[in-house]
Structure 1
């Protein structure tokens, strides 16, 4: 039986934030203008992210960032909007690979750490290729985020298979290790060609 293939979203199919998008977030957040360095801002942004990925309300998340920074953001709604907009671009080569694998009859899953407010925006823009997946598992909707073992287990349950039946690709080594810990075959993603070559070896 061909293994079920599960992809991470960001850093694999969807693109990470561009420098221009990050600069706009910094501008709206008042970085430097209020004495907060860009380095401190992004440290707080990512340190507070796990609860956000697991379903925390957006405003509550940004309030937590404020607390960590020890300052007030000038316009949380504007920062939130810029942040959401920064996570909507995709890698067309990977989207093509998803279609290619689906056309081969492969069972596909998506396991993403993603925030609640971003899901409808992302799905509205990319519903065509997202529809090629057999199961979409979003951290914000299951209440746990990678590398929590339950995130991988829930993904497998939704696909109707055991973790051992899954090949998982993620760009973050810690998330790959989390997948391996529950029994998945997992690889650090580098490119569409890497995925094709790896799957061809297992054919």
Structure 2
């Protein structure tokens, strides 16, 4: 009897595998009083309305534009004129070894052990992080395919981005479980025929539980 094709796992990075910039802005505010007013506005995790986030969700501005605005705002509060890569390095350094979401690490490890191919489809790895440790994080050594739109020039939700990831994975789109935290990227994956799982920044662990089920993996063992 012919066995059904084994599904592949495709992951976004920032906000999905790596903890979100919105979370880390909160940590920044906890240690740096000068930025507290600014970081009160950080999407669904803030204590105040974030008009730029709302504009991004409406797709009036891009995700890169949103983070450029935040970078300039935080830089101004600190009296610094910095490029976005320096801002991101400062922000993500706050997390240290805790930058990876534990359920994401467990999903990657278990999917790999079960023989599923694993890919990353990100828009901004090199654009935001350059050649820093983020771009060579050990979790990336566990993936079979890395597609970075900073390099290819084809950003999600362009259908060509998903097609390229599927081609490099060697897996039909309908057999790819894709996890991302941005709704338009999820919509693009669904249009491409993928099994798309949207990560909610207010409850990120739930998305990994869904992805595990779609891959036929058991529930993650309790820590």
TM-score normalized by the length of structure 1: 0.70
Cα gap change, 1:38/1:180 in structure 2, threshold over 3 Å: closer, same or farther?
closer
Structure 2 match to 1:76 = 81
8 Å contact from structure 1 (residues 16, 87) kept in 2: no
- Across the aligned residues of Structure 1 and Structure 2, the Cα RMSD in angstroms comes to 3.8
Structure 2 match to 1:9 = 13
SS at match of 2:196: strand
Q: Deviations 1:16-43 (Å, cap 9, x if unpaired)?
A: 1221336789947x96xxxxx9946767
Report 1 or 2 for greater relative contact order, CA contacts < 8 Å, sequence distance ≥ 6. Answer: 1
SS at match of 1:167: strand
Structure 1 match to 2:202 = none
d(CA) in 2 for partners of 1:83 and 1:144? 22
Cα gap change, 1:49/1:22 in structure 2, threshold over 3 Å: closer, same or farther?
farther
Structure 1 segment 139-178 matched on structure 2, within 5 A: 139-178=149-188
Structure 2 match to 1:120 = 131
Structure 2 match to 1:195 = 211
8 Å contact from structure 1 (residues 22, 86) kept in 2: no
Structure 2 match to 1:20 = 27
Q: CA deviation at 1:98?
A: 0.6
Cα gap change, 1:173/1:75 in structure 2, threshold over 3 Å: closer, same or farther?
same
Cα gap change, 1:119/1:198 in structure 2, threshold over 3 Å: closer, same or farther?
farther
- Give unpaired runs (5+ residues) of structure 1: 32-36
| Matched positions, count | 184
Q: CA deviation at 1:15?
A: 0.4
d(CA) in 2 for partners of 1:24 and 1:157? 44
- Give unpaired runs (5+ residues) of structure 2: 39-47, 94-98, 200-205, 218-223
8 Å contact from structure 1 (residues 25, 82) kept in 2: no
SS at match of 1:183: coil
